[in-house]
Amino acid sequence: MGSGERICRIPRKELTKTILCIVESRAEAARIEREFLGDRWDTDDLCLNLCVGGGNFVGGHAMSEETKAKISTAHKGVRNSAEHNEAIRRARLGTTRSLETCRRISEGRIGIKVSPEGRRNMSQAKMGNQNALGFHHMEETKRYFSSLQRGIPKGPPTEEARRNMSRGQTGRKHSAETRAKMSASQKRRFSS
């Protein structure tokens, strides 16, 4: 595709995207891009790359740790606008994290302690009905839900229902692991 800086100057409808091959890793993609481009990235006016394929162009050299620290400091405390956050939200809609990503996030959070103030803030944020505020089902939907409940007795189960439930549980055996968990739970409950 080329570098974003050059692509942004061209209307999207004038660009076409052709997938030349599918690779397993970023390193392999960079190698194939370098082979494909050769020296055209520098000589061909139609090539949109700012540097040799697969590289990140930063003025032709890698950033020093000092430069990275300056950029980091400049971005600290900067908040995105509501429009920017909405654009990010829309871009992420429908995407899911891979199990590997979830595992890495989980491992990265091990040992992080939330301060009492943070716990209080999270608790207050969760209080009350946070979901579907002001939402009301349509009358048609209410009638449908109501029809599903017809014929289902309200209140405690009848003797027949109790017998059926008992029959359904007869012969069921808990595993040794489950019995141990149940025992430990009861011991904790009655020891305190």
pLDDT tens digits for 42-78? Answer: 677 667 666 666 555 545 557 788 988 999 999 898 8
Tell whether 94 is covered by a domain. no
Q: Find out whether 84 and 30 touch, Cβ atoms under 8 Å.
A: no
Model confidence at 136: pLDDT above 80: yes
Pick 185 or 52 by higher pLDDT: 185
Tell whether 24 is covered by a domain. yes
Quickly tell me which residue has 């891009």 as its tokens.
Answer: 33
**CA pair distance 125, 110, nearest whole angstrom:** 23
Pick 2 or 142 by higher pLDDT: 142
Tell whether 68 is covered by a domain. no
Which of 42-51, 85-94, 155-164 shows the lowest mean pLDDT across its residues?
A: 42-51
Tell whether 22 is covered by a domain. yes
Which of 20-29, 65-74, 150-159 shows the lowest mean pLDDT across its residues?
A: 20-29
Per cent of the chain over pLDDT 90 is 36
Q: Find out whether 34 and 49 touch, Cβ atoms under 8 Å.
A: no
* Stretch 9-25: mean pLDDT: 75
Q: How many domains does the chain have?
A: 1
Tell whether 174 is covered by a domain. no
SS3 per residue for 30-51: HHHHHHHHCCHHHHCCCCCCCC
Tell whether 15 is covered by a domain. yes
Pick 18 or 69 by higher pLDDT: 69
**CA pair distance 166, 55, nearest whole angstrom:** 68
Best-predicted range by mean pLDDT among 72-81, 120-129, 175-184? Answer: 175-184
Pick 42 or 24 by higher pLDDT: 24
Query: What is the reported pLDDT for 61?
Result: 58
Model confidence at 18: pLDDT above 90: no
Pick 138 or 155 by higher pLDDT: 138
Query: What is the reported pLDDT for 179?
Result: 94
Tell whether 177 is covered by a domain. no
Tell whether 182 is covered by a domain. no
Pick 189 or 42 by higher pLDDT: 189
Domain limits for position 36? 4-43
Average pLDDT score over the chain: 83
